[in-house]
């Protein structure tokens, strides 16, 4: 099965990691992106496969510009077109509008990663009869798209940057890696509230704050931690939680019941094993983890990894998408 993913923006690396996972699961998957960053002035960039912005295949690191005929071959040979957040208004069709003809007779999937009011053209996509299935990641977005099929946000748990390492920290290390410090609504990472709450902890610990770093570097730094704070404001969890659980860490977020219900649609009833905290009680939750015995802490860290190995392994995730593609 050949799957061609298309995404204008990096979407926190989600399309790329889904491609990674599907390759591990036996699907011939590729990803065409317009760019792998949100703003040209930002030092934060994500992994990519074929980048229209750069004009070369970043995955293979080959210097020659990509050729139109190479892109056209991918379109011609694809069995499934998997669109992320945008459909016919993607950059690829502005460059090569004639490629739209390759969608005919093929399975077309449309997946959302953002709030409904922030996706340009989403209503047109929803009403487009050429799309066979609509997907939404199992996070806060499900409340905006209640009729969409709920799918996991993929994480390649056996990739070297997503596995546990022996950090041997003298003090317990708490990591906080907000993707932004100023955005609001569902993109609010609660930066000021989180930093304020951390300052009220009575126990000593090593605090690792990661901002404005390329995604790979962020993962390498995050791997050395024992505890990871996702965000404590909105009621959602994000990719940060999944990364932390995969690395065998205790994850903290203000996850609400609707998000847990979305997760349980993926797992078959098992909730996400996170410590719930908000801005008022984060310091209390952290203190309880810092006072925990090493044996108990290590046990909970192992349970985090065990959850991901059972429910988020590459074969299981790939099969979820295969079933969608084939049915």
DSSP state at residue 270: P
Rounded Cα distance, 4 and 33, in Å: 11
Neighbour-count burial for 32-59, b at 16+ CB within 10 Å, e otherwise: bbbbbbbeeeeebbbbbbbbbeeeebbb
Rounded Cα distance, 269 and 264, in Å: 4
**Phi, psi at residue 317, to the nearest 5°?**
-65, -40
276 membership: H or E segment, kind and range: strand 275-276
- Average pLDDT of the segment spanning 33-53: 80
- Average pLDDT of the segment spanning 112-130: 94
Contact 14, 154 (CB under 8 A): yes
Rounded Cα distance, 185 and 180, in Å: 12
Closest CA to 29 of 327, 242, 318: 318
Rounded Cα distance, 244 and 197, in Å: 20
pTM: 0.92
Model confidence over 138-150: pLDDT tens digits? Answer: 999 999 999 999 9
- Average pLDDT of the segment spanning 65-87: 92
For the chain, the average pLDDT equals 91
Domains of the chain: 2-154+314-326 (3.40.50.2000), 160-311 (3.40.50.2000)
* 186 pLDDT tier (thresholds 50, 70, 90): low
Closest CA to 161 of 246, 240, 230: 246
The residue count of the chain comes to: 327
CB atoms within 10 A of CB 213: 16
Q: Could you give the 3-state DSSP secondary structure of residue 31?
A: strand
Closest CA to 86 of 145, 20, 9: 9
Question: How high is the pLDDT of residue 60?
Answer: 42
Question: How high is the pLDDT of residue 167?
Answer: 79
Question: How high is the pLDDT of residue 168?
Answer: 78
Model confidence over 202-260: pLDDT tens digits? Answer: 888 999 999 889 999 999 999 999 999 999 988 999 999 999 999 999 999 999 999 99
Contact 91, 52 (CB under 8 A): yes
- Average pLDDT of the segment spanning 121-132: 96
Model confidence over 5-40: pLDDT tens digits? Answer: 999 989 999 999 999 999 999 999 999 998 887 776
- Average pLDDT of the segment spanning 181-202: 76
Q: Give the tokens for residue 18.
A: 């889904």
* For residue 124, pLDDT beyond 70: yes
Model confidence over 53-75: pLDDT tens digits? Answer: 655 444 444 334 577 898 999 99
End-to-end CA distance of the chain: 14
């Amino acid at each position: 099965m050949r799957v061609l993913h298309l995404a204008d923006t990096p979407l926190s690396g989600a399309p790329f990691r889904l491609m990674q996972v599907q390759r591990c699961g036996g699907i011939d998957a590729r990803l065409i992106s317009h760019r792998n960053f949100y703003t040209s002035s930002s030092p934060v960039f994500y992994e990519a496969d074929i980048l229209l912005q750069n004009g070369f295949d970043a995955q293979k690191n080959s210097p020659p510009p990509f050729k139109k005929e190479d892109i056209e071959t991918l379109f011609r040979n694809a069995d499934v077109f998997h669109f992320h957040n945008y459909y016919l208004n993607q950059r690829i069709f502005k460059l090569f509008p004639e490629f739209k003809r390759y969608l005919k007779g093929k399975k077309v999937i449309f997946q959302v990663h953002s709030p409904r009011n922030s996706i340009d053209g989403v209503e047109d996509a929803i009403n487009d009869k050429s799309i066979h299935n609509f997907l939404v990641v199992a996070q806060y977005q499900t409340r905006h798209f209640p009729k969409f099929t709920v799918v996991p946000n993929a994480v390649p748990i056996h990739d070297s940057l997503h596995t546990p390492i022996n950090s041997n920290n003298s003090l317990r290390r708490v990591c906080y890696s907000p993707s932004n410090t100023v955005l609001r609504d569902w993109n609010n990472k609660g930066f000021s509230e989180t930093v304020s709450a951390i300052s009220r902890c009575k126990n000593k610990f090593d605090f690792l704050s990661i901002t404005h770093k390329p995604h790979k570097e962020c993962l390498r730094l995050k791997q050395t931690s024992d505890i990871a704070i996702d965000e404590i404001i909105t009621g959602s969890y994000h990719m940060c939680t999944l990364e932390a659980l995969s690395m065998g860490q205790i994850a903290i977020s203000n996850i609400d019941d609707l998000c847990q219900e979305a997760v349980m649609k993926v797992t078959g009833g098992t909730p996400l094993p996170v410590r719930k905290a908000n801005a008022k009680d984060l310091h209390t939750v952290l203190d309880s983890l810092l006072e925990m015995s090493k044996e108990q802490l290590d046990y909970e860290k192992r349970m985090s990894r065990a959850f991901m190995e059972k429910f988020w392994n590459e074969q299981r995730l790939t099969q979820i998408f295969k079933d969608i593609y084939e049915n």
